[in-house]
Amino acid sequence: MNEILEEIIFSGITKTINGKTKKVNAQISNEEGKLIQDCIHSIKAEISVEVGLAFGTSALFICDSLVKTKKTKHYVIDPYQMYENSYDGIGLNNLKKAGYESIVNFIEKPSHLALTELESQKIEIDFAFIDGWHTFDHALVDFFLVDKILKIGGIIIIDDTDWPAIKKVCSFITKNRAYNFIGGTPQRSYLKKNNSKIYKIKNYFLENNTQGPELYGSMAFRKVSTDLRLWNHFENF
């Protein structure tokens, strides 16, 4: 594990660009980081996209795992990263200190604009991590646009799937899109109480037809095929 990432995970603090200590209050869990890295390793991902940077924890997990080649790239989308009253560039600074500056492409725009631009540039990705604006419409648009550039066999991880709006997006995916659920992590509050390990239940929704997203803090989906739905397709979710 990169030493910058290790410091954040185990101390719960990071440093500003000016060297001041700051408590990290918006980071993924170590279990979520393991899910990210397991997914990236399983498909030998080289090119990835992340919606939402914050302090850079998830980006560090991602960059730490990408197969390093001449085309390796991690596209990071966050319109608030440089706001003084928000993250003030801490996430980008952590990526730089960790030595990943050369493979990171930071896009300081809303995700719907940034993802559309990536599609227009014919960018194709292996892996995506979605942790942006947590309303149903924003999260669904993030998924829709990421799908446009995700290769068949690629993986999307969606964070905070126990939030009502994000849970609904995951229900839509499982009922209406050609994706298989391949793994998830328990809710963070559950982790604190039980120190549980990652759940890995292949095709949980397809086999059990349950309202599963409430069980997970994050969920990983593998893209099975292009979108083959008829123009009037709809399954209630």
Domain ranges of the chain: 28-223
Residue 102 DSSP one-character state: G
Q: How many helices (H) and strands (E) does the chain have?
A: 9, 9
Residue 54 DSSP one-character state: T
Residue type, 117: E
To the question of pTM greater than 0.75 for the whole model, the response is yes
Per-residue pLDDT of the chain (237 residues; tens, 9 = 90+): 788 888 888 888 887 777 777 788 767 888 899 999 999 999 999 999 999 999 899 999 999 999 999 999 999 999 999 887 778 888 999 999 999 999 999 999 999 999 999 999 999 999 999 999 999 999 999 999 999 999 999 999 999 998 999 999 999 999 999 999 999 988 765 444 444 444 343 333 334 434 455 578 899 999 999 999 999 999 999
Q: How far apart are CA 43 and CA 209, in angstroms?
A: 27
What Å distances lie between residue 201 and 10, 187, 208, 215, 221, CA to CA?
28, 15, 11, 12, 12
Right CATH for 28-223 from 3.40.50.150, 3.90.1150.10, 3.40.50.1580, 3.40.50.720? 3.40.50.150
